[in-house]
Structure 1
């Protein structure tokens, strides 16, 4: 395995993230090869494996970074809407995130087929790390008076499943998309979020 100093590692990883996002956004995860990624990043193929076990792992790392950016913006949204009742706050937050996806084309292309593909290709620990990241964001909602009536892990997995469904729905471009999302969200949030603030 190639040896890199800290500066080189940082530069190479940044290039992989940047070029990976560009390629995955343009062609989709299944059509992009590691050869294309390393060529775009200007590194040897062996160097790629110093950072990632496969292209799917890179894809998940890019997705996590994009979600972190979105969640950073979500703090401002939550502060501006903190007076809403808990379920309403969750619903508006979820809908806001889907509106924000226009700024993150790679994330907006995710659907149930891509999710299933990633689950098949990635080791369980990578998927679990992603779920933990999502759980941290739900824990943050508790600071705004949201109380989950189930465990955070169940709430996280429920909302992840819902997100994948909504991403698939968005790709259909139906006129009733917002109405459908609202109905489903109302039903799910009624089951997992208390209607009273903490």
Structure 2
């Protein structure tokens, strides 16, 4: 197996992330092989495992690294000057819209796919990303509380509520494509009302 300098390692890692995103977007995770990935970067198949334990790990890291999605969602809503209920409703609706428009997130949310991907990942990786996203989410909630958008309550709980709502996306097929938007509109309306109403 070839030995790489630190610079070469970084270049190869970036190539796998870039080409991986392109291939996963075009062909999907299932139809993209490790052979496709290493061929795109001009490395031997065995060298792939110096960087990632599986194509699922590469896919997950690419998915998690799309910071522009999180930044667009959080940053945009921190700049919004809407009434509290409308702001929370807009935030949740936008989160669902971004998930529906992102081809990698669409793959992740396909029936059974998220569980299959997560089973193949190192536990520490899932834990590290979860902690990072939780920190960002809590900071967002704290900012909304300070602005008076949300009532004073435990930011960790509110962030978990937002996360739980997004997990409902995994059940879109079960509820049916026609019924799901109506169900989510009602849930979002109730959640926005409950989180922002004053005593």
**Coarse TM-score class (shorter-chain normalised):** 0.7 to 0.9
Name structure 2 gaps, 5 residues minimum. Answer: none
Is the 8 Å Cα contact of residues 78 and 93 (structure 1) preserved in structure 2? yes
Name structure 1 gaps, 5 residues minimum. Answer: none
Task: Give the superposition deviation at 1:7.
Answer: 2.7
Distance in structure 2 (CA, Å) of the matches to 1:157 and 1:101: 18
Task: Give the superposition deviation at 1:52.
Answer: 0.9
Q: CA RMSD in A?
A: 3.1
Distance in structure 2 (CA, Å) of the matches to 1:58 and 1:107: 14
TM value normalised by structure 2: 0.77
Larger Rg: 2
Task: Return closer, same or farther for 1:160/1:109 CA change in 2, 3 Å cut-off.
Answer: farther
Is the 8 Å Cα contact of residues 15 and 41 (structure 2) preserved in structure 1? yes
Match of 1:91 in 2: 89
Name whichever of 115-124 and 168-177 sits farther off: 168-177
Task: Give the superposition deviation at 1:116.
Answer: 0.8
Runs of 4+ aligned residues of structure 1 deviating over 6 Å after TM superposition are: 170-173
Match of 1:27 in 2: 27
Task: Give the superposition deviation at 1:181.
Answer: 1.6
Match of 1:63 in 2: 63
Give the number of equivalent residue pairs.
Answer: 192
Is the 8 Å Cα contact of residues 38 and 48 (structure 1) preserved in structure 2? yes
Is the 8 Å Cα contact of residues 134 and 156 (structure 1) preserved in structure 2? no
Distance in structure 2 (CA, Å) of the matches to 1:15 and 1:178: 38
